[in-house]
Amino acid sequence: MDPEQIRSRKQQIVARYGPWTAHSFRLADGVDTFDQPHWDTRLRRFVQIVSDLSGKPIQDLRVLDLACLEGHYGIEFALQGGRVVATEGRPANLEKARFAKETLGLDKLELVLDDVRNLSVDRYGTFDVVLCLGILYHLDAPDVMDFVRRIASVCEGLVIIDTHIALGDDLAIRWDGNTYWGTYTHEHNENATAEEKEAAKWSSLDNPRSFWLTKASLSNLLRHIGFTSVYECLNPFEFHSTDWPRNPEGGEYGVYENRTTFVAVKGKRCTLISSPSTERLPEVDRPEHSNFLAFRPLPGKTGLRSRLAGLLPRPLRRFARTVLRRG
């Protein structure tokens, strides 16, 4: 199709399923999904993580994009040469992704209408990279924990989890012998109809509330279900317009205080040789509220004496500071 044909087909998609709500990307020269195209800093973050950490060229990877919305991230990995399976629970979103697939000629992109809670090896096989982007915080407990375990079952390399997290540990959920902390948040009204839930494209498929895990509990959960290491991405830096999506490139830029990108690696646990005592030491959960002492150097002092003074009870720190300054 030439650009005019693509533009006409896009108008038909919009007339039937509504305009694109989130993913802005190029379909052809002069034709984008959004009439006013805008950038997405998350795109560079996710692609760079995979490029740096996967251990293979992207074209050699099998990638799973869970709850792909309008498909941008899976489409980008397919454009990079990866073999991509993208799932989505809402037909309207999937039709937009299917239109983009056909327009861009992406033979390596497979689109599947499915609920992420159905994820399994029998259904999908295994993947080098799993993208869990903007979906974890839409699931209720215990589904959210079950879902992460399902991710681990299909993941042979790494998973990227971009998610909101709970900033407070309001309640505890017991699951598979462990306790996880977090808070509930609203998804749909209790009496919402199926049509209303379907139209809420940035909400859960059906559950009226979701359970947001704390950062510590999400870290612990990933270790409990088989990931050997977990990292938090600091760069590439993710930021957004404070007026997004109405004015995606205007106004001030900001970051979500309660959002993070985790990278969890499905590796093999190393055996330590030089320190038998360290090898015998079991791994422990990250505490929700740390009981460990904080090593806080006194202002202007970074030596051993200052670090030791930082271990003192608070009433004695002023005295220690005075002694150190005299010294």
β-strand partners of 133: 162
Mean pLDDT of 83-94: 97
Tell me, yes or no, whether 249 and 302 share the same domain: no
pLDDT, tens only, 208-218:
999 999 999 99
Residue 270: inside a domain: no
Q: How far apart are CA 243 and CA 251, in angstroms?
A: 7
Give residue 170's pLDDT band: very low, low, confident or very high (50, 70, 90). confident
Q: How far apart are CA 242 and CA 249, in angstroms?
A: 9
CB count, 10 Å around CB of 321? Answer: 18
Tell me, yes or no, whether 261 and 322 share the same domain: no
- Inter-helix orientation angle 3-17/91-104, to 10°: 170
- CA–CA distance from 149 to each of 67, 142, 214, 260 (Å)? 16, 11, 17, 19
Tell me, yes or no, whether 175 and 301 share the same domain: no
Give residue 167's pLDDT band: very low, low, confident or very high (50, 70, 90). very high
Q: How far apart are CA 206 and CA 204, in angstroms?
A: 6
Mean pLDDT of 226-232: 97
Tell me, yes or no, whether 230 and 191 share the same domain: yes
pLDDT, tens only, 139-162:
999 999 999 999 999 999 999 999
Tell me, yes or no, whether 232 and 323 share the same domain: no
Tell me, yes or no, whether 315 and 235 share the same domain: no
User: Burial, 244: exposed, middle or buried (Cβ in 10 Å; 0-12, 13-18, 19+)?
Assistant: middle
Give residue 54's pLDDT band: very low, low, confident or very high (50, 70, 90). very high
Q: What is the reported pLDDT for 316?
A: 56
Structural domain for 170, as ranges = 3-265
Tell me, yes or no, whether 193 and 65 share the same domain: yes
Tell me, yes or no, whether 193 and 303 share the same domain: no
Q: How many distinct structural domains can be found in the chain?
A: 2
Mean pLDDT of 20-32: 95
Mean pLDDT of 174-182: 97
Tell me, yes or no, whether 251 and 326 share the same domain: no
Residue 278: inside a domain: no
Tell me, yes or no, whether 315 and 248 share the same domain: no
Q: Is the pLDDT of residue 326 over 80?
A: no
- Whether the CB-CB separation of 189 and 298 falls below 8 Å is answered with no
Q: What is the reported pLDDT for 243?
A: 73
pLDDT, tens only, 58-71:
999 999 999 999 99
Mean pLDDT of 168-179: 94
pLDDT, tens only, 185-211:
999 998 999 999 999 988 999 999 999
Q: Is the pLDDT of residue 101 over 80?
A: yes
Residue position matching structure tokens 């997405």? 40
Residue 286: inside a domain: no
Give me the sheet containing 171-175, strands edge to edge: 171-175, 178-186, 209-213
Mean pLDDT of 171-182: 97
